[in-house]
Structure 1
Amino acid sequence: MSSSSMLPAAATAASKRLILVHGTGHGGWCWYKVATLLRAAGHRVDAPDMAASGADARPLRDAPTFEDYSRPLLDALRALPPGEKAVLVGHSFGGMSVALAAEEFPDKVAAAVFLTAFMPDCAHPRTHTIEALPAGLDWMDSVTDEGHAPPSVFLGPQFLRRMLYQLCPEEDYTLSQSLARVSSYYVADQRRRPPFSADRYGAVSKVYVVAKQDLAMVEQYQRQMIASVPVAEVREMAGADHMAMLSAPEVLAGHLADIANTYA
């Protein structure tokens, strides 16, 4: 982490806007450590709940499409003052929402950051990167319901503890057990959409942050996505599991502050 990233607000040269997007079954709450550090450094940080996630009271059936699910992020970009841009940070499935936002509002995105996240390309269907997840992943006690509208997934407590939170403090795992919710990958809905376009999503600067100790989206899979999508830079977090914002918050906040200062 650079020595300047976490300076007090009074010492920062300029405040940057970052929007942090959570992954499946989670909410804006999972960013509480990183958001606090970035705000202490003088940055403006939003960590919205996607629809039917976190503290958003709607049931999943009230977010039937991926665009419905991602609307809080789209609305946040739409509400930016003219000429202002934000650095978008997508974690895990949040990378798909960031890609959609970059497709819809490329002129409002300073950079799209993918933190051990799904990063789609412009050559294949939008779901290609999700469907390319290694088949050997053990979902353990997670529960899927293809008959639900939209098809739902609930990440089980054993799966979370062993595959996503294995390096996280116990209290953060305990927090997840109070706040985790049923969600969806919206695969069928996204299959009906055209690929992301090269002149919109493809034109936005992208940064990939590799979590080297991720047991679910393993490093090899992350590298496969990086090889298929032009990125401005790749950063690595050696001691981070899938929930890098909880297992290595100071290091991640330093990377995000540096990225914001570079691209915003």
Structure 2
Amino acid sequence: MGNRVICMKKKDVAIRTGGDGSRSKRVSRSQRKLLGDEEMLHRRALSMAIHQAQLSQRFDGSVSRRVGSTSSRRQTLSDPFSNNKQVPDLVDSLAVKKVVLVHGEGFGAWCWYKTVASLEECGLSPVTVDLAGSGFSMADPNSVSTLEEYSKPLIELLQNLPEEEKVILVGHSTGGACVSYALELFPEKISKAVFICATMVSDGQRPFDVFADQLGSAERFMKESQFLIHGNGKDKPATGFTFEKQHMKSLYFNQSPNKDIALSMISMRAVPLGPMMEKLSLSTERYGKGRRFYVQTLDDLALLPDVQEKLVRENSPEGVYKIKGSDHCPFFSKPQSLHKILLEIAQIP
């Protein structure tokens, strides 16, 4: 019921205006303002990304070295038209308002720029982190060899939370492994964990195992992949991997706007390999008691919908949501739908 108030489709707005011409013009001006605000946000993110790309030149193997059973709470959502002015009143009473956003492989905190703006606008408190070797992190991706090292910025953030404060923890793609790792360490600090087309693995699984149907076994990938980076020398074990740009575009951004693809192409960095190949140790007593929600992306070519459905069946989250028309990056391709889902999860008692 709450979301019907929060998010109305454009045709609903037209009906409620009663066909009044002046009202229609005001709606149009409002829409133009939203578009202008988004454009300003995008320019700011692009500026930050260019700065990051310049910084990352110092790292070998990063940007400069790139070479070629489901709950009954299941929904299918399309882009809503959000009446954001009504939202703060609805979230004022929430016990947990802080939303920590964790990016996936190759991305950084910059990828959440639309999500941050929309969550702030509705009265929540979004926080982003750059995992080690990602985004603005000064760590060389080739030096990050364990999930503990990779997740360190997130773990420090949770450790430094005031006593009794909880957060909603959101992870995208392989950032889901960091969310699971954090949920095992700090179940008392995480109110809800949200996995967005993410690696919601079981105990003893590696993040890479989720992609095995598409990339082959980990052993085969390590032996044959053309995307591996040997940051310590060709005669040493691989330290990271990255996809060439055209391959990345077709896998990750098949539904995303061109300007967000351009932003990503100059911002994404190599992915530390070690954390992706590490088996997670998850206990029933800690991780198993966490409240988990999963967001499926139905036009995803990087983590196929069938694979996501399998993850949901095998890991039984409390709630499952589906976004039509979204590629692997719903924060770009369907930001309003993603916003609506995160807002609804935040309001679940």
Give the alignment's TM-score, normalised by structure 1: 0.89
Code of the aligned partner of 1:220: D
- In the alignment, what sits opposite 1:222? 308
Residue number among 153, 175, 198 corresponding to 2:263 in the alignment: 175
Equivalent residue of 2:272, what SS? coil
Equivalent residue of 1:202, what SS? helix
Quote the Cα distance in structure 1 between the aligned partners of 2:275 and 2:144: 14
Q: Residues 15-36 of structure 1: CA distance to partner in whole angstroms, max 9, x if unpaired? A: 6110011000110101100111
- In the alignment, what sits opposite 2:208? 130
Equivalent residue of 1:117, what SS? coil
- In the alignment, what sits opposite 1:50? 131
| Deviation larger for 144-153 or 91-100 | 144-153
Residue number among 282, 293, 297 corresponding to 1:196 in the alignment: 282
Code of the aligned partner of 2:5: S
- In the alignment, what sits opposite 1:3? 5
- In the alignment, what sits opposite 1:237? 323
Q: Which runs of 5+ in 2 are unaligned?
A: 8-81
Q: Residues 43-96 of structure 1: CA distance to partner in whole angstroms, max 9, x if unpaired? A: 000111101100112211342321111111111111111111111111000000
- What is the alpha-carbon root mean square deviation over aligned residues? 2.3
Instruction: From the superposition, tell whether residues 142 and 249 of structure 1 become closer, same or farther in structure 2 (CA, over 3 Å).
Output: farther
> Do residues 209 (structure 1) and 295 (structure 2) align?
yes
- In the alignment, what sits opposite 1:166? 254
Instruction: From the superposition, tell whether residues 118 and 83 of structure 1 become closer, same or farther in structure 2 (CA, over 3 Å).
Output: same
Code of the aligned partner of 1:198: T
Quote the Cα distance in structure 2 between the aligned partners of 1:19 and 1:142: 34
Residue number among 164, 170, 175 corresponding to 1:94 in the alignment: 175
Contact 1:88 1:113 in 2 (8 A): yes
| Deviation larger for 11-20 or 154-163 | 11-20
Equivalent residue of 2:101, what SS? strand
Equivalent residue of 2:151, what SS? helix
> Do residues 258 (structure 1) and 344 (structure 2) align?
yes
Alpha-carbon deviation of 1:170? Answer: 0.3
> Do residues 78 (structure 1) and 159 (structure 2) align?
yes
Code of the aligned partner of 1:224: K
Equivalent residue of 2:169, what SS? strand
**Higher CA-based Rg:** 2
Q: How many residues align?
A: 257
Contact 2:145 2:273 in 1 (8 A): no
Q: Residues 100-120 of structure 1: CA distance to partner in whole angstroms, max 9, x if unpaired? A: 000000000111111000001
Residue number among 118, 129, 132 corresponding to 1:37 in the alignment: 118
- In the alignment, what sits opposite 2:29? none
Equivalent residue of 2:91, what SS? coil
Quote the Cα distance in structure 1 between the aligned partners of 2:311 and 2:144: 28
Quote the Cα distance in structure 2 between the aligned partners of 1:174 and 1:132: 27
| Structure with more of its chain in helix, by fraction | 2
Q: 1:63-74 alignment to 2 at 5 Å?
A: 63-74=144-155
Quote the Cα distance in structure 2 between the aligned partners of 1:23 and 1:188: 11
Instruction: From the superposition, tell whether residues 2 and 25 of structure 1 become closer, same or farther in structure 2 (CA, over 3 Å).
Output: farther
- In the alignment, what sits opposite 1:13? 91
| Deviation larger for 175-184 or 204-213 | 175-184
What is the percentage of aligned positions where both structures have the same residue?
Answer: 29
Q: Which runs of 5+ in 1 are unaligned?
A: none
Instruction: From the superposition, tell whether residues 106 and 150 of structure 1 become closer, same or farther in structure 2 (CA, over 3 Å).
Output: farther
Instruction: From the superposition, tell whether residues 147 and 135 of structure 1 become closer, same or farther in structure 2 (CA, over 3 Å).
Output: farther
Instruction: From the superposition, tell whether residues 82 and 164 of structure 1 become closer, same or farther in structure 2 (CA, over 3 Å).
Output: same
Code of the aligned partner of 2:205: R
Quote the Cα distance in structure 2 between the aligned partners of 1:174 and 1:61: 25
Alpha-carbon deviation of 1:136? Answer: 3.8
Residue number among 104, 110, 118 corresponding to 2:199 in the alignment: 118
Code of the aligned partner of 2:333: S
Instruction: From the superposition, tell whether residues 209 and 146 of structure 1 become closer, same or farther in structure 2 (CA, over 3 Å).
Output: same
Contact 2:199 2:210 in 1 (8 A): no
Code of the aligned partner of 2:147: F
Contact 1:212 1:237 in 2 (8 A): yes
